[in-house]
Each structure stands twice: as C-alpha cells, then as structure tokens.
C-alpha cells in the first residue's frame, strides 16, 4: 500500500489556493479541507452568541467546541467573515485548538488536501507536497471583487484591496504561525495564470512527488 498523499497548500487571501485545492482533491480522489472555514466558523459562532471577537477566552472556548456541521453554514463565505476569521486566527489558543482538528483530518489513510496559511509550516510539516500559492494584492482584489459581484454583493474595489492588504499584514506578523512559505514548498505565482494553468502547474508538482 502506498504512503498517504498529503498535499499542503498555503497562501494569502484570494490567491486561488482554495479553487486549486478542490481541483487537486477531486483529481486525486482525496478528501479536502478548507481550513479557513474553521476560523470563520469560530468567528460566526461568537457573533451569533453576541460575543466580541476581541474576547480571547470566548474565542478559545468556541474553537475547542467546534463541530464539523458548522462548516456547512453558507454565511461563512460572506466577505465580513474573512475579516473576522483573520482577527480571531491571531489568538494562540484558537490556533492550538484548531491545529488538532486539522491534523486529525490530515491523518486520513489515503491522504488529504488541506489549504490555509500554515499547513506546510505547522499543521502538516511532513506533507509529501507543499505548495505556496500567491499573486499580487491588486490581482487578488480583482478576483475577490469579481467573485462577490457575481454573488450579488455590492462591493468597492478599493475597500477590498485595503482589506486584503490589512489581512496580509496581520497574517504575516502574528506571533503564532505567521503566513509564510515553508522552506521546502514550491511557490506558484498565479498573477498571470488562469485556473486551468494554475492547476496544470500544481499537478506537475504533485505528479513529480508521486513518482518519487
């Protein structure tokens, strides 16, 4: 029996890592986890309970009690939840609670595809494949603006760009598990790539790892 194929995909907001992760998971028949949904679900549960996102103790309790059913809430895809998730993800106790959740998922017998911001560096440091997906802030803002517009949400490009830049700064500077490429990750800049081209480039990396 071959060793589990764990594919760790990291990158900043709107870099295309989620779309890429889903396509790779479907192609290789692996379960997929968008780890950002975990943080969004914790933030959503706090807001639903009327709690402040600055209440670190409440955030830690919400993370410790998170159940998989919460990840199906369509409200987690709303733009505001990305900002909220970025805020609570800086809480060390939240990251610690969700780390165990993610590692259990990655321990699947056949492997798994996980995308987030610290998969290759913290969650799955021994993953067989590590990809760091990036793109310019302006291109990522354009993608997010287009996505939200297609969803029927009223958006302002400048505001989205400012949100992305603020999230980049917060994710890269947090004390616990900051956003960065693992030393052994393949960096894939998708600024000039469409989804099919990005998938082809990533698939080449995965196939190379499988061959060895």
Residues belonging to the binding site are 11-19
d(CA 209, CA 212): 5
Interacting residues of 170 by C-beta distance below 8 A, sequence separation 6+ = 86, 87, 90
* E strand or H helix at 196: helix 195-211
| Dist. CA 16–CA 200, nearest whole Å | 13
Residue list, annotated binding site for ATP: 11-19
**Strand 186-189 relative to strand 129-134: parallel, antiparallel, unpaired?**
parallel
> What are the DSSP E strand ranges found in 11-151?
32-34, 111-116, 129-134
């Amino acid at each position: 029996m071959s060793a589990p194929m764990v594919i760790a995909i990291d990158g900043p907001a709107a870099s295309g890592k989620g779309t890429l992760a889903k396509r790779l998971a479907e192609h290789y028949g692996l379960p997929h986890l968008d780890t950002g949904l975990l943080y969004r679900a914790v933030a959503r549960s706090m807001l639903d309970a009327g709690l402040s996102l600055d209440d670190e103790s409440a955030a830690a309790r919400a993370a410790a009690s998170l159940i998989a059913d919460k990840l199906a809430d369509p409200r987690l895809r709303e733009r505001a939840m990305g900002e909220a998730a970025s805020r609570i993800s800086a809480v060390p106790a939240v990251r610690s609670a969700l780390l165990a959740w993610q590692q259990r998922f990655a321990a699947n017998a056949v492997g798994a595809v996980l995308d987030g911001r610290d998969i290759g560096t913290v969650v799955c440091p021994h993953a067989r494949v590590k990809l760091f997906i990036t793109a310019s802030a302006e291109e990522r803002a354009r993608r997010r603006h287009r996505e939200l517009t297609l969803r029927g949400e009223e958006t302002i490009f400048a505001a989205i760009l400012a949100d992305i830049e603020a999230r980049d700064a917060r994710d890269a500077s947090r004390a616990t598990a900051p956003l960065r490429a693992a030393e052994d990750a393949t960096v894939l800049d998708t600024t000039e790539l469409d989804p099919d081209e990005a998938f082809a480039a990533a698939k080449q990396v995965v196939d190379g790892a499988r061959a060895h």
